[in-house]
Structure 1
Amino acid sequence: MQLRGFSSTSSRVFDLISLWILPVGYFLLLCALFFLPGRSLHHKLFYGLFSIPALIALCLRPQGFRELVREPMIVALLVFVAWAMLSLSWGPVDGESFSGMFKPPLHTLLLFVGCYLLVRYRSDILAPMLFVAAMVALIATTCFLVRFAHHYEPGARLVGGGAFDNPLLSSHLFGFFCAYWMSVSMSCRHGRLLWLSLPAMLVMFAAVIATGSRTPLVALTMAALWLSFICWNRRSLVMLGALATVGISVFCLFSKMITERGDSYRFEIWQIALQKIAEHPWIGHGFNADLAIDPGVGYNFQEPHSFFLGVLYYVGILGLLPWLFFQAWGLLSSWRQRVQPLLIIASTWLVFGIGAGLTEGGGIISRPKEHWFLLWIPLALIAALSINQRARRLLTVPVQKLSATGLQPLAADAQVIEEDGLGPKVLRLTDGSFLKLFRRRRWYTSGNFNPYSERFAINSEQLRRMGIPTPQVLNLYRLDDGSSAVHYAPLPGHTLRQVLQGITAPAVRQALVERFGKFMARLHEQGVYFRSLHLGNVLVLEDGEFGLIDLADLRIYPSPLSLSLRQRNLRHMQRYTEDKRWLFEDHFDALLQGYSTTASRAAVDNLHRQVQQGGRPARAH
């Protein structure tokens, strides 16, 4: 009993972390620098709301580590971190403890762990969360620009508010979110979102220009070229044309800004850094080594102003190899799995970071700060998406565009199975397959970021991998009017409601209800919360097993469902008169008997108590 109670408590803690704490922590990691008073608070928020919770979750479910280490990017990262820690043995001896040097790599690794858990259990919220974070950045940046323009003096450079204190570092975040809006403009499916992304991109680009930093302009050019390549379509031609136009305009309007500061001692810094690298080219000077470069200006630079040179200086060629590998593998994985829009965004961020890191940075592993937006944040998201894409928890079927003229031959002579005031909703096509239509949603709703047709496909695949029969998705479509559709092969069988209606022998019906109770308990114990669970959405297959249909309104939780979610499932089934009579009146004991074979005693007692209290059935629909 104590063991079961501990298991239940650990499951609730894991659910709280995966479903709520990690999303909040990731959101603040992305946008909190725009409004926090300093970086130290940003560090604490990351540690308390993302890094430490991710560590606790990994300790509660250590089996997740096996899936992590199957990802080549994670393996390369572990090799890189291990080599960096090993380099402490030949680095300089200073007063900082080993534990202090170990914390930055640990928190970097936990960023990857947290992103993996976030994508695995809350992939539905990821796209809306990125959008809201980008909106926070957009609003804050607009305020920064207005204030900057109001107090502008010749030669001034935009720093921004919040935790920003350096125009070059500020440009990293402005460019990061400019790359986001650029990605949205290339991949969004709704006109309103497109028309929002274009001015948002211009605002963030204006902020980059106002910082007076030139490297982000190169990085954004690289990001635009990558987007044109990975999303090759008609918009790519527009992107390339706009890139040329903007490039010429920026050079003409801001040529003084681009040329007046010369090379900012970059070549001198790089030459001195290469001389120092040549002293220990293979193993580097050590992760904890100091770096001081004076290019002849009377003061020292603490970074080589290049991530590439920084890696060579600290961990040498042997450390550079895994560093180069996980970036190259991230881009290759994004290209291979470009059906996933989030990978397009993440890979664009990575390309932007690679471009910005050509002449900026140098600290290879640091606490959370602006440099994380150039490397670790994009890489962690790509790794998480790749792992879960390979496990088929994300969309794997490409979405095809379907015009009204293309829909007509597909739906010709089809039988209307379900319709509403706007027209057909479910069609049985002439080949026996089904086409289910989902109406257009408002652009700012979750249905826009995660269309219900795609939810249907993802849920179907996940349930099939759990051993629960579901329809086989054949195609996904996006219609001209903003609606979506899923084309699937039906399961052979009849709904449980139809089967029960055709049974006249009470004993046979009772046995079937008992089997359904066992099936329902299996769903609940596997974390499947099917909001629309009723006897019309459960099929009795030809082999006697149960299957599920109408899967868009379904969610899979990390742990067995809580008692409250099970109650909500039961209340929904009590809304249907026939379902209520068969399950909760005539054969309730059989339902409990089947449910108890899998579910815990507490869950069975909860079901019994709820039905005895007489949940009020709502009007069926």
Structure 2
Amino acid sequence: MAGWRERIYNGYVGYWAPLALLAFLTGMFWIGDRSLYHKLYYATLALPTLLVALVSPVRFLHQLRQPYLVLFLVFSLYVMLSLSWSPEQNYSKLKQPLYVLMLLLAVGAMAEHDMRRLVQCVALAAVFASLFALITMLMYGMDENRPERLEGMGALYNPLLTTHVYGFFTVMAMGALVTSRRYFAVKLSMFVVLLCLLFLTGSRTPLLALLVCVGWLVLLLGDRRVVVLAAVVSLAIILGFWGLDYNPLERGLSYRPFIWQDAWRQTLPVLWLGHGYDASIDIYLPDLDYLLADTHNLTLGVIYQTGLVGGVMWLSLYVYGFSQAWRYRSSGLVIISSVLLVYGFVAGMTEGSAFMSRPKEHWFIIWIPIALHFAVLRKVGTGMKGVSA
């Protein structure tokens, strides 16, 4: 019986999980429909991980030694508890944290089994992202009736949401550039292609988040390479705006201050515990005669639904992640995973409220960076041999 379980686990973590993760990271580009993307994740990664965890629980339980996973579980339990006072009381939402947990367990198991294979899997996904970005831009350029802002292909249809996915890979390429000289020309080409696509979306959020990421790299490394990178990225953004004849202030602040103020006003009556998970919100924009159902700030969305108690738990995921990144800043993989975490946190400050959702674009700025950072921290914390980025 023990040998049978071992064979199942080894086959899962050595072959199935890497292929499933690769499909998940690239599925938005080629699957064509968001509902199919959800099913892709459930069928290839979430369900197999759950089954293998039930068959070989000991292989997964020791991941609880990593505080990151404990913080996530505490936050998830509280979020689910808040359903009891939510006006919606949609208990089908109880499965949402399970989807995220399966991602954390799968990536953590892959890192423990073979960190090199996990790195290769994510790197290959970044190569695919660069190729799809190039194809998307070519088709956008050849379209005579193209919209003013690039919207994306496959399951991607919204300029800002598209930047969540491509911005994730842009930052990954940037982090890899400064942590290793291997395949420098390839990584630089990927970074340039992905950055060009971000410009064509016309979204300002990813560019702001990118600049903050550069600042984070300067703080972690503080050497000449990163200072040069900071100058190059800043110049590229300026030239990009100039070349596209795009004024980043033309749309003002897109009503963000008003939205945040009204969301905070609606939060104050239940400040400590919030309205409950999945509670809806209505924000009326009188200038546009338009009703929004989104706080346009992930952290504010967490506080609206789960109160300051949930907000502290949410922020603890990032505080712990950043503090451990500083502690292990000599590791190239920690630098890359932490800069992904920074990008996601900053990008989430101006968009979104669905912090615990089905697999979609928001996962690329929340749970995928957290999962990768969790896996890398387990690697450096247990003293496994390093892997070049």
| TM-score, L = length of structure 1 | 0.60
**Is residue 2:220 matched to residue 1:230?**
yes
Separation in structure 2 between the aligned mates of residue 142 and residue 33 of structure 1, nearest angstrom: 15
One-letter amino acid of the structure 2 residue matched with residue 162 of structure 1: G
Report the count of equivalent residues. 388
Separation in structure 1 between the aligned mates of residue 262 and residue 113 of structure 2, nearest angstrom: 48
Separation in structure 1 between the aligned mates of residue 125 and residue 88 of structure 2, nearest angstrom: 42
Q: How does 1:311-350 map to 2 (within 5 A)?
A: 311-350=302-341
Within the candidate set 13, 31, 42, 2:8 is matched to 13
Q: How does 1:369-448 map to 2 (within 5 A)?
A: 369-395=360-386
One-letter amino acid of the structure 1 residue matched with residue 178 of structure 2: M
How many angstroms does 1:218 deviate by? 0.3
CA, structure 1 residues 146+8, in 2 after alignment: closer, same or farther (shift >3 Å)? same
Separation in structure 1 between the aligned mates of residue 385 and residue 377 of structure 2, nearest angstrom: 9
Larger strand proportion of the pair: 1
Q: Contact 1:88–1:286 at 8 Å: present in 2 too? A: yes
Larger helix proportion of the pair: 2
Q: Contact 1:167–1:212 at 8 Å: present in 2 too? A: yes
One-letter amino acid of the structure 1 residue matched with residue 263 of structure 2: A
Separation in structure 2 between the aligned mates of residue 105 and residue 133 of structure 1, nearest angstrom: 24
Separation in structure 2 between the aligned mates of residue 250 and residue 311 of structure 1, nearest angstrom: 34
Q: Contact 2:137–2:197 at 8 Å: present in 1 too? A: yes
Q: Contact 1:112–1:380 at 8 Å: present in 2 too? A: yes
**Is residue 2:136 matched to residue 1:136?**
no
Q: How does 1:159-198 map to 2 (within 5 A)?
A: 159-190=151-182, 193-198=183-188
List gaps (5 residues or longer) in structure 2: none
Q: How does 1:84-95 map to 2 (within 5 A)?
A: 84-93=79-88
How many angstroms does 1:298 deviate by? 2.6
* Aligned equivalent of 2:105: 113
Deviation string 1:254-313 (CA, Å, 9 cap, x unpaired) is 564412222222122111101111121100000021122222223322210001110110
Instruction: Say which structure, 1 or 2, has more relative contact order (CA 8 Å, 6+ apart).
Output: 2
Separation in structure 2 between the aligned mates of residue 154 and residue 29 of structure 1, nearest angstrom: 28
Within the candidate set 176, 193, 200, 1:203 is matched to 193
After superposing on structure 2, the runs of 4+ consecutive aligned residues of structure 1 that deviate more than 6 Å are none
Within the candidate set 120, 141, 146, 2:138 is matched to 146
- Is the partner of 1:258 in helix, strand or coil? coil
Separation in structure 2 between the aligned mates of residue 240 and residue 142 of structure 1, nearest angstrom: 24
How many angstroms does 1:194 deviate by? 1.0
Separation in structure 2 between the aligned mates of residue 111 and residue 155 of structure 1, nearest angstrom: 35
List gaps (5 residues or longer) in structure 1: 1-5, 396-448, 452-621
Separation in structure 1 between the aligned mates of residue 245 and residue 263 of structure 2, nearest angstrom: 29
How many angstroms does 1:233 deviate by? 2.6
* Aligned equivalent of 1:293: 283
- Is the partner of 1:348 in helix, strand or coil? helix
One-letter amino acid of the structure 1 residue matched with residue 328 of structure 2: Q
CA, structure 1 residues 272+136, in 2 after alignment: closer, same or farther (shift >3 Å)? same
Separation in structure 2 between the aligned mates of residue 322 and residue 279 of structure 1, nearest angstrom: 20
Q: Contact 2:5–2:56 at 8 Å: present in 1 too? A: no
Q: Contact 1:22–1:114 at 8 Å: present in 2 too? A: yes
Q: Contact 1:228–1:239 at 8 Å: present in 2 too? A: no
- Is the partner of 2:137 in helix, strand or coil? helix
Q: Contact 2:297–2:353 at 8 Å: present in 1 too? A: yes
* Aligned equivalent of 2:93: 101
Q: Contact 1:294–1:301 at 8 Å: present in 2 too? A: yes
Aligned-pair Cα RMSD in Å: 1.9
Separation in structure 2 between the aligned mates of residue 335 and residue 312 of structure 1, nearest angstrom: 27
Deviation string 1:406-436 (CA, Å, 9 cap, x unpaired) is xxxxxxxxxxxxxxxxxxxxxxxxxxxxxxx
Separation in structure 2 between the aligned mates of residue 258 and residue 323 of structure 1, nearest angstrom: 31
* Aligned equivalent of 2:239: 249
- Is the partner of 1:259 in helix, strand or coil? coil
How many angstroms does 1:379 deviate by? 0.7
Separation in structure 2 between the aligned mates of residue 93 and residue 172 of structure 1, nearest angstrom: 28
Deviation string 1:308-347 (CA, Å, 9 cap, x unpaired) is 1101101010001111111111122122223332222211
Deviation string 1:141-168 (CA, Å, 9 cap, x unpaired) is 1011011112256861101211111111
Separation in structure 2 between the aligned mates of residue 255 and residue 309 of structure 1, nearest angstrom: 33
